[in-house]
Amino acid sequence: MQTIKGPAIFLAQFLGDNPPFNTLESICKWAKSLGFVGVQIPSWDARCIDLKLAAESKNYADEIKGIINEAGLQITELSTHLQGQLVAVHPAYDALFDGFAPAEVHNNSKARTEWAVQQLKYAAKASQNLGLAAHATFSGALLWPTVYPWPQRPAGLVETGFKELANRWMPILNEFDKCGVDLCYEIHPGEDLHDGITYEMFLKHTNDHPRACLLYDPSHFVLQCLDYLTYIDYYHERIKMFHVKDAEFNPTGKQGVYGGYQGWIDRAGRFRSLGDGQVDFKSIFSKLTAYDFKGWAVLEWECCIKHPEDGAKEGAIFIKDHIIRVTERAFDDFAGTGSDENFNRKVLGLN
């Protein structure tokens, strides 16, 4: 076993136009002042990084590392959540997702997909140049509009969808393999990879690709009423990243999982700041530690009630308090009597 690294913070929800949130240098100093020791970088935000340049220039990647290290922090991972979403988009979402891509590929789904795939390939090389072991993304979704179908899904539709999804991701997965980086899908509603079953279908169609790994975020499982602790037992060998995010699910006689089209504040299932929700983080940290998770515990803050700066301040303490410093010896070593092969045979009555 080893001690989980952290606390770290995903910067995406905190970047803004006003100091200290408007430059990489200043936001890192802010994060350090709260007690964080790592930052996860959203690769689509130019205030943090030029992804293409980080892929093409080791010197530039070293400059980014230097800014972060100078603040007393480490880079945990890069994220391409927005670009990964665009690798596979159902036509029903074309107009909505165009906003994730540059203007020159709007209203052109083929060009947008090609742009997204290239972004992921840049991310693989940029991660390598930055010395990172894992990368965060979304799978995108071709099938999501049929998740609870009416009319019924045509026979073979799911198989066709997963074949196409795998075909789009295989070249990207191979690029990450070439760069020695694990590609970690955040299992998430709205994505074709939204639970364990869909992840297993994806693995089947990618020939169990060794780089098709997981970002574990229990908050999305609370909202699906999925057993997020047993999930770790099933998939711990593939879990390479960890978003520490809280959530709650309080169904009523009027609404449940689907939320009645309500805004976040009025849904039965909603995300909360760390410690304000229902996630059993003591058990999660215990399981991940026992399974020798080697990654970072990264705060992803999303809450419809609390101010983000308060959520970040409390989150750093919360994660630090939940990280388990692993023991180097058994608790009952004091009672050991010593042994060798002959002694062991004597104890067993074999001499």
Q: Are strands 5-10 and 212-216 parallel, antiparallel or unpaired?
A: unpaired
For residue 140, what are its two tokens?
A: 């995108």
Q: At what angle do helices 109-129 and 58-70 cross, to 10 degrees?
A: 70
Q: What DSSP line would sit under 256-276, residue for residue?
A: -TTGGG--GGG-SEEEE-TTS
Give residue-wise pLDDT tens across range 331-340.
666 667 777 8
pLDDT band at 327 (very low <50, low <70, confident <90, very high): confident
Q: What is the reported pTM? A: 0.95
Q: Are residues 144 and 90 in contact, defined by beta-carbon separation less than 8 angstroms? A: yes
Give residue-wise pLDDT tens across range 111-160.
999 999 999 999 999 999 999 999 999 999 999 999 999 999 999 999 99
In this prediction, residue 218 carries a pLDDT of 98
Return the closest-CA partner of residue 126 out of 165, 87, 83, 73.
Answer: 83
**Domains of the chain by residue range:** 5-347
Domain 5-347 superfamily per CATH = Divalent-metal-dependent TIM barrel enzymes (3.20.20.150)
Quote the DSSP letter at residue 222: H
